[in-house]
Chains A and B, each alone.
Chain A
Amino acid sequence: MKAIHDVMTTWGVQLRRMPPRAQEIHAHIARITPQPHALQRGWRMPRLAVGFAILAAIAFVGQSHISGQLRTASIAQRAPADVQGLRSTLDAPGIFGTPTGLSPRTGFMERVVEPFRRYLPTDDTPITDTRELLETSYSARIKTRTVEVIGSRLQTIIRGLGGRVDRVTLDVQYGSIAFAISTDKLDALRSELQSMFWKPFIRESTSAENRLADARATERDQRNAEERVQQLEAQRAAAIAEFQTRSTSFTVRINGLLASIRALEAQRSTVTDVAARERLEQDIRARNTDLRIARAQFASARAAHDRNLARLDVDTRVMQDRIAFAQQQTQDLTERVATVHGTITLEQVAYARILGTFFLAHWIATLLTILAIVALLRTDRRPLIVP
């Protein structure tokens, strides 16, 4: 192969030469070449790449700003929206069987739900009672790199807001905190959490249930008990008054019999006639019998009266216990409504997941950045020569 290489090399050398008009061509090229001092170097602006980069920056700022506004709006609107959602669900006509007086619709719900309306549970709380005794629960799921550190911080925050930590489980990868906090401090807690964590890494849910039915039942029980107590007290007063009357009657009768017996005994001491004396003895014995009967009746009436009073007193105490129980239930309900029971779950997140979530959250900016890089790589970056 070396021989052919040498042959071809020789062949190539023999074909190289200057053209006949070499000087003329060289002079022409020299003429068109600009002078050194006249050359200016410019720079080709990669317009497309710069354009994409500017759009990417705008998209990034815009997406961050919008997500921040949405986060602020969600905090302000969440509690009332939950209540509205609860009420709107209860208010939906034809769903819970409450007659609304509206003309029936002919949609899917009516065709499917209507036949089953009478089997659905009903709530007898009237619409005129607009009280809202919302028992609230809260849960949050947070992804973080440092579960134990964040868990410790969260406990401090909860306690700092006057709350109570009921259960804590923390390890390197997972954590759980169960807590109780005042209802009026829930928004503060949520604001704190949302400022600590990036929105894609915190998921919250709040549920609220109106305990108005429980409150009404308790109030009804208390009211009934109070009414019953009043009735029992009235019965007691009436019984006492009645017995007072009967007692007076018995006393009058007994006193009359005693006076009659004394009179007959006085008359007997002055009578000498045996027959008359015998008649007086019989009268005295009859009066004594009546007296014994009257006294027995009086004692019986007193005993019956005492038993009646005792029964009334027992009933009254039962009703008063019921009132106290209703009051305690009301107090418990008030505390439950004023307290939010919540759970925060912590989960460790990998770096790759963080990056992926970031690029997804700012996908427009990411896409424009990629386009800017591609445009830059494909840009002709030779400097301009401006004569």
Chain B
Amino acid sequence: MRPWGSSERDIIRRAQEGDRAAITVLWDAHTPKLYGYLCHTLRDPVIAEDVLQQTWVQAMEALGGYRDRGVPFHAWLFAIARNVCRQHWRTLGREVPLDLETHDVPAPNRNHDAVLTVDAALRTLTEEDRELLRLRYIADLPIASVARVLGIRPITARVRLHRTLRRARAALETHHV
């Protein structure tokens, strides 16, 4: 689904009116990115599923009041997801660190080793850098939406992403990718 075409706007409007087919379209379009983002953030697929469900439940409850005033639907959805994650960590009292031994099992036909190598390289980065990369490449959000989710200016997001990619490249070169 292309972001912000008139078709997506119509789908969202129909979903707001309770059209389940439209909700299914949104579900299919955003859930893979959302689940992938949550798995990489939470490091636990079961917890990621729970958070995913909570995220969609809250999104459906608030969908009626959603208005596109410079906040695309995907940015809005991932903002809800980040809030649910924070609530989860607050409940646990801690954030689960990256642990390659208990890393999530990738889907079949994925280049598991390459993913692990990139993850290992990303381990050397800060959590802020990793969050930036998750939103940009897993969630597939444009820079403006990443800035909106993180609550920063787009130019700031662009500069940070550039620096993060430079650090990531250096880290990957160290791991001989």
Contacts and interface: CB of A to CB of B under 8 A. Distances in A.
A167 interface: no
A15 B106 contact: yes
Interface string B146-177: 00000000000000001001101100100001
Contacts of B64: 39, 41, 382-385
A251 to B, nearest CB: 134
Interface stretch (A19-27, A178-186, A306-314): A19-27
Contact of B35 (A7, A10, A18, A41): A18
Contact of A16 (B111, B138, B168): B138
Given A1-B162, A20-B49, A22-B31, A15 B168 contact: no
B65 interface: yes
A384 B31 CA distance: 26
Nearest to A386: B64
A30 B23 contact: yes
A41 B17 CA distance: 10
Q: Which of A19, A32, A38 has the most chain B CB atoms closer than 10 A to its own CB?
A: A19
B20 to A, nearest CB: 5
Contact of B114 (A1, A14, A20, A380): A14
A36 B138 contact: no
Interface string A3-19: 11101111110111111
Give the interface size class of chain A.
35 or more
Interface string A286-313: 0000000000000000000000000000
Interface in B106-154: 106-107, 110-111, 114-115, 118, 133, 136-140
Contacts of B23: 29-30, 33
A4 B167 CA distance: 10
A385 B18 CA distance: 11
Q: Which 5 residue pairs of A and B lie closest in terms of their CB atoms, listed nearest first?
A: A12-B137, A382-B65, A385-B64, A36-B18, A15-B36
Interface of B: 17-20, 23-24, 27, 31-33, 35-37, 39-40, 45, 48-49, 52-53, 56-57, 60-61, 64-67, 106-107, 110-111, 114-115, 118, 133, 136-140, 162, 165-166, 168-169, 172, 177
